[in-house]
Amino acid sequence: MNDATINPASMEHLESFRLCLDSVARERIFIGRLQAPSKADMRERFEAGQRNGVIQDWALVNGRVVGWALVMPHHAFGLTHSSWLALGVHRDFRRQGIGHRLMTGVIEQAWQSGLKRLELEVWADNQPAITLYEKLGFRREGVLRNYRYLDGRYTDAVMMAQLRE
């Protein structure tokens, strides 16, 4: 196991989070972006998330953000019971239980906030993530075929959700 602590996202560690996000994005495999936003955009998005009820936890090791999980509630009419989840862990800290700990925390916070549906999408070739999400109670709801086209190849996205009755 590792000595990562799971903490609510904070302005204090925003630049460290941006660097972690950038590192994962530049791998071009796991998330739907190729680089992190600028410092100014990141600050604006973080502040907007704070105002809009985003639940966000970061994993820190020696004050450095090494992973994140977030729940973004939908605000559209008829969808306010549901949300979208995202997870990322820096390559040097994968397979240490950090993703599981992050997801467990934000899922519990989402249920406590009154949400009834948590949804996510994951690239179909990311079997470690799919296995984690299934272990946490997410079920496959469908596949978006050829959803992403990057570096000359198509990748399907698996849509998954967890419901709280």
pLDDT tens for each residue of 11-58: 999 999 999 999 999 999 888 889 999 999 999 999 999 999 999 999
Three-state SS annotation for the chain: CCCCEEEECCHHHHHHHHHHHHHHHCCCCCCCCCCCCCHHHHHHHHHHHHHCCCEEEEEEECCEEEEEEEEEECCCCCCCCEEEEEEEECHHHCCCCHHHHHHHHHHHHHHHCCCCEEEEEEECCCHHHHHHHHHCCCEEEEEEEEEEEECCEEEEEEEEEEECC
CATH number of the domain encompassing residue 44 = 3.40.630.30
Q: How many domains does the chain have?
A: 1
pLDDT tens for each residue of 71-114: 999 989 998 999 999 999 999 999 999 999 999 999 999 999 99
Stated pTM of the model: 0.92
Q: Which domain holds residue 88?
A: 5-163
